[in-house]
A and B are shown apart, each in its own frame.
Chain A
Amino acid sequence: MNQRVFLSKTVRLTLLLLSMLLWGGCSTSTVENYPDRPISIICPWSVGGATDRTSRQVAVFLEQELGVPVNVINATGGRGVTGHSRGLKARPDGYTLAVITGELNMLHWQDLTSLTHQDAIPIMSLVDGAAAVFVQNDSPFQSMQEIQKYVKQNPGKLTATGTASGGIWHLALAGWLDFSGLKADDIKWIPMNGAGPSLQELASGGVDLVCCSLPEAKTLYESGQVRCLGVMAEEPLPEFKEVPTFISQGMNWNISGWNGLALPRDTPQPIVDKISNIMKKITSGEVVLQKKTFPEFMQAAGLSTRYRADKEFASFLKSNDQTLGKLLTSDAFSQMSSRGTGPLVFPGLLAIAICVIVVCLSVQKKVHALAPEVSSDTVTSQGIVNAALVLSGIVAYLLFAEKVGFVLTAGAILFLLLWKFGTRWWMSALITALFIPGIYTLFAQLLRVPLPRGFLGW
């Protein structure tokens, strides 16, 4: 009796699922009703940095305007290659926006990616932080001319940092040296990941100069731990009026790091227009959130901005690409990158260490200790089948999740595993029916962590 009631229940459940399937199938997203599900913004840099802060600010405003959740995903690493690739190579359906930064115009010159600015549909440029040079508070240098003079007399004596080798701030300093008629490696560049650690290194006395943007150094600068000798901008920055420009010190040299919002190439035009119009509204200060507009938020965060929309942004990208390309392909720069501890030194040392350890283990006559120990819990044939099932379950997920969607793929795998491991089929179905939607709600809805979406959208 019980079994029958249960059966009829499962039949009803199946029907319900089926109808949901059909219903879901009908409502595949089209351009007209865009957006009808959450949107992701891919940020190529890590949490807490200037680009991340910008991305999250944009996300909050877009969310209010578009009426769907907008999530920021930090796809970090590989000096920005990872994030840029993921953002710009995403499905061009308007549900993935890309935050692009100056590195987009640098990485392809350094043969690190084939992506260029032509893979992006530029929407709006946001932050534009001019490079600035900092010294420790008790440094003897008072102006850029003094540094120029010192470097001329003592090439290779000073050390500087701010980002990785070949990063935007490195480029800014090397470009300035080149401009001053010096060699690009007359100031030794110590590679560091990010402005924060670089400034700490400066304050600890580990390097002589740091080149990064003023907002990044705001806290240490304002507390007097570091001094700023000059900013590579055309005019003094409104927030830091007291900092002299390079031009005012007789050097006509400007360069800045920037970021902006873009869409993958081939995104349908109506979607591009919609996002572009909303971004124009947001950056012009029309949209108010918590009694503050977007520009006010950005100013509060200490980020200097330069809003360029569509065409203007596109032409900026083009000219910026050429400027950076000229620098990166110049003799001064290409000579420099081949210097120093090579990339295979460290892995080489590790490989030697591994060999030594293995030799030691065998010399100690512990070779037997390296051989697999046959323990009391012996492997059964059923066990091998089960392990193979687990393995193929994961592989099946990897193959099908993107096309079929999380709920169906994971549901099928979980059901099969439970069933094959010896749980009765209806119990397995029940656990699956409770667990999978539970995880989906938890991750995708409550915690806003994206899960694979198939053709149904879930």
Chain B
Amino acid sequence: MESTFITALQNITSPEVLLVIFLAAVYGLFVGSIPGLTATMAVALLIPLTFYLDNLSAIAAIVTLEACSIFAGDIPTTLVRIPGTPSSAAYTDDAYSLTQKGLHETSLGVSLVFSVAGGLFGALVLILAAPLLAKIAFQFTTYEYFWLYVLGLSCAAIVSTGSRLKGALALMIGLMFSTVGLSEVHSVPRFTFGFDELFTGINFIPAMIGLFGLSEVFRNCLTSKTDEKVQQLQSTLNSEDDHAVWKHLKPVFGGVLPQFWKRKFSWLRSSCIGATIGMIPGAGADIAAWISYAVSKKFSKTPEEYGKGSLDAVGDATSANNSALAGAWIPALVLGIPGDSVTAIVIGVLLMKNITPGPEIFSNPDQLVLVHGIYLTFILVNLLLIPLGFLAIRSGSQLVRVPRRILMPLILMFCVVGSYSINGSYFDVWVMLGMGLIGFTLEVFEIPLGPVVLGIILGGRLEQAFVQNLTKDDSFLSFFNRPISAGLGIFCLALWLVPLVMPFLRKKWQIKD
């Protein structure tokens, strides 16, 4: 055990591997910060290269790429309100509100440090408990999935700013969009109106770019904000006598460490949520971010700030989505079941390299070295992310200084190119355009956009689980017939019913008193 660990350490600190990790980190930050390019896509683009790399370098490159691009997704989210990856959608409004207050560097600093901390926690869980926890994946059948999706969606609706009913309405609109296209379970096209392109349904990435990014462009245009510069709140933290280096570090990290110390328990809670949800195949960083956001709001002393620029929210959600990454590797390595789309590719790469993921890779000494290498990469990458992420934040922040009349057309171009490039389809650009108009309209009515996005992402899976359950057994009671599904189900129902019933109960108690 110890000897393999030392071998792994030696392998990973070899110059070649370090170089690969460094390059992959830069590439990951780059890809993640461009809206429309996802972590999955970045990893898929890397596959041909992995043939030329040795096993450890290949896997290390994928780990690095994944961790860096998920963090980098926060950069466009914060600066221009286009979520770089779906995992950032939960806290888009918070992060962007902070930018409008001139606090974008603090917000990104919190994102960075909490991402790193969440990532490290996830890595620890992976290292210490992988074989033990892998069995969680085998507890989930379609019944449990159904309730898990309901839970994720409920969280999105409940935590959204403003009225809970409007959150629910937004959610239903999102779910409705997800029913467009060929229904996977029925093999029947729905709401396609004769368009072949609509068979695929509405892709959530152009939808996300349109809902958040394009609608923001429209709003800026309509209110003639294109004429103004963003107000530059010169950070009050900066004082004259600061050391030269600290001057650069302070806007990003200045407020972070006290924030982190203040939120250490909530960080732990969010990371646990992230790692647990990441472990369940088919649920990923996006659901983890939403649930952790909801829990964070529930326990917060200042829930009214959530959605309007809360650093707590950004920190908690971002540590959850990063710790979910490592969680997804647990079922992939131990059982050969991919936890998310990236680990699905990883399994393919491993098979190509003559390694079959499964319990035996923990007993075969050669392969155990590789597994330890993966552990070490997770730790190394998260540490490397601090300086590299800092540089990315500093260079990205220059964007905010660009006058809006120049920035808006450039953002528009990125919206168009980003939505086109996912599938190379013009139809996705139409979707982006349509969603931009819808997003703009919804915001006028103060209906939150986050739940719409999550509805589109999870709608298909929710319906699938629903239909699967009803195919197995016609009665709704069967939804509660397994211990975990019963627990999750009752929790979900309580989440919705308690706030409805509470006012009546309270009145009764008051009368009694």
Contacts and interface: CB of A to CB of B under 8 A. Distances in A.
Contacts of B358: 219-220, 222-223
A372 B219 CA distance: 14
Interface string A201-222: 1011110000000000011101
A443 B419 CA distance: 12
A346 to B, nearest CB: 5
A402 interface: yes
Contacts of B336: 218-220, 223
Interface in A63-122: 63, 72-79, 81-82, 85-86, 110, 112
A358 B344 CA distance: 41
A76 B184 CA distance: 12
B356 A47 contact: no
Contacts of B191: 347
Most buried by A among B142, B143, B217, B338: B142
A113 B221 CA distance: 42
A219 B48 contact: no
A279 interface: no
B357 interface: yes
Interface stretch (B92-100, B233-241, B248-256, B404-412): B404-412
Interface stretch (A26-34, A146-154, A336-344): A336-344
Interface range on chain B: under 10, 10 to 19, 20 to 34, or 35 or more? 35 or more
B190 A79 contact: no
Contacts of A301: 348, 351-352
A351 B191 CA distance: 14
B261 interface: no
Interface string A37-57: 000100000111100110010
Interface in B263-317: 281-282
Given A47-B341, A417-B409, A421-B226, A190 B468 contact: yes
B409 A358 contact: no
Given A201-B142, A382-B224, A448-B45, A112 B424 contact: no
Interface stretch (A2-10, A176-184, A363-371): A363-371
Contact of B188 (A196, A220, A343, A395): A343
Contacts of A315: none
B141 interface: yes
B165 A450 contact: no
A289 interface: yes
A56 B345 CA distance: 11
A403 to B, nearest CB: 12
B396 interface: no
A383 interface: yes
B424 A218 contact: no
Contacts of B175: 350
Interface string B439-470: 00000111000000000000000011011101
A377 B444 CA distance: 12
Contacts of A380: 222-224
Contact of A357 (B138, B165, B221, B413): B165
B376 interface: no
A447 B141 contact: no
Most buried by A among B44, B221, B409, B423: B409
Given A53-B348, A73-B424, A301-B352, A164 B471 contact: no
25 contacts: A48-B344, A48-B347, A52-B348, A60-B48, A75-B424, A78-B189, A112-B187, A164-B184, A192-B468, A203-B335, A204-B139, A301-B352, A340-B471, A346-B463, A357-B165, A360-B165, A361-B163, A366-B163, A384-B222, A387-B221, A402-B426, A414-B410, A421-B409, A443-B421, A452-B420
Nearest to B344: A48
B196 interface: yes
A112 B187 CA distance: 8
B189 A112 contact: yes
Interface in A161-202: 164-166, 188-193, 196-197, 199-201
A340 B467 contact: yes
A79 B460 CA distance: 13
Contacts of B282: 197
Given A82-B200, A218-B351, A344 B356 contact: no
Given A193-B184, A443-B421, 7 more contacts: A77-B182, A190-B472, A191-B184, A191-B185, A197-B281, A343-B183, A345-B467
A155 interface: no
B173 interface: yes
A342 B186 contact: yes
A378 B143 CA distance: 50
Contacts of B186: 165, 191, 342-343
Contact of B221 (A200, A344, A386): A386
Interface range on chain A: under 10, 10 to 19, 20 to 34, or 35 or more? 35 or more
Contacts of A343: 183, 186, 188, 190
Interface of A: 40, 46-49, 52-53, 56, 59-60, 63, 72-79, 81-82, 85-86, 110, 112, 159, 164-166, 188-193, 196-197, 199-201, 203-206, 218-220, 222-223, 225, 289-290, 297, 300-302, 337, 340-347, 350-351, 353-354, 357-358, 360-361, 364, 366, 369-373, 377-380, 382-384, 386-387, 389-391, 393-395, 397-398, 401-402, 410, 413-414, 417-418, 421-423, 431, 435-436, 439, 442-443, 447-452
Contact of B335 (A159, A220, A342, A353): A220
A217 B37 CA distance: 30
3 closest A-B pairs by CB: A219-B336, A48-B344, A206-B141
B493 interface: no
Contacts of B190: 343-344, 347
B510 interface: no
A199 B138 CA distance: 10
A78 B199 contact: yes
B226 A386 contact: yes
B173 A354 contact: yes
Nearest to B196: A85
Nearest to B422: A449
Nearest to A52: B348
A334 B91 CA distance: 47
A213 B52 CA distance: 29
B360 interface: yes
Contact of A369 (B199, B341, B406, B446): B446
B78 interface: no
Contact of A346 (B166, B225, B356, B467): B467
Contact of B472 (A49, A112, A159): A159
B412 A190 contact: no
A219 B356 contact: yes
B31 interface: yes
A290 B52 CA distance: 7
A438 to B, nearest CB: 10
Nearest to A417: B409
Contacts of B413: 410, 413-414, 435-436, 439
B231 interface: no
Most buried by A among B139, B140, B345, B406: B406
Contacts of B470: 340-341
Given A383-B224, A384-B222, A386-B222, A75 B423 contact: yes
Contacts of B471: 188-191, 340-341
Contacts of A110: 187
A371 B432 CA distance: 25
A112 B468 contact: no
Nearest to A378: B223
B199 A199 contact: no
Contacts of B161: none
B383 interface: no
B169 interface: yes
Contacts of A378: 223
A78 B359 contact: no
Given A47-B345, A82-B199, A354-B172, A387 B468 contact: no
A204 B138 contact: yes
B416 A357 contact: no
